Amino acid sequence: MKIPTILKHKPVIVSENYENVDGRNAYHTDAKGLSLGLAQWNDRGKVDISAKVWRHTGEKWSRQSEELPFHRVIDLAILICRAKLHFQDAYRYEKLYDSENPIIDRVGLQGDAMTVAVCTENEKINEDIKLFSQALSDDDELIGERLRVLSRTLKEMGY
C-alpha cells in the first residue's frame, strides 16, 4: 500500500510492505508501512526527522499512526535490549525481579542516565511480569531475528 505523501509527515525512506513482516501480525495487520522522513511537527526554519508507523483501517489512514523522533526509536530499542537481557537471567528471582532493587540498569545518555526498572507501581506487577516474560519467550524467534539484523547493521556502520 502506498504511503501518503500529502500529509504533514513527509516520507523520505519507506517500507511500504511492512504489513508482510509485522511479527505475529504479518499479513493480518493494520500497520501497512514504515517511513523515515521530515517530522509533522516541524516549524519554519526547524527540521526534525522522525520515524512513522502508518496504520490503515481498510478505508482510511488511521489516527493511531505513530510518529517518533529517531532518538526515541533508538531509546526504545535500547529498552527492549536491556529488558531482554534481564529476562535471560530473571528465573533466578522468585518474582522474576529483585523486589528490593527493581532497577535493572542505568544507561548513560547525554551526561545523565536512562533508568531501566521493573514498574513496581503496577499493582499487578507479579502477574504481569510473568505474562510479559512468557510473551518475550514466545516471540524470541521474531525478536532474535531482528536483533541479529540490527547487530549486523550496526557492525557494518562501525558500531
- Beta strands per DSSP E along the chain: 10-15, 31-38, 49-55, 66-69, 103-109, 112-117
Q: Is the pLDDT of residue 134 over 90?
A: yes
List pLDDT tens digits, range 22-74. Answer: 999 999 999 999 998 888 887 777 788 889 999 999 999 998 889 898 999 99
Specify the pLDDT at position 125: 95
pTM of the model: 0.85
Arithmetic mean of pLDDT, 105-129: 94
Cell of 128: 504481569
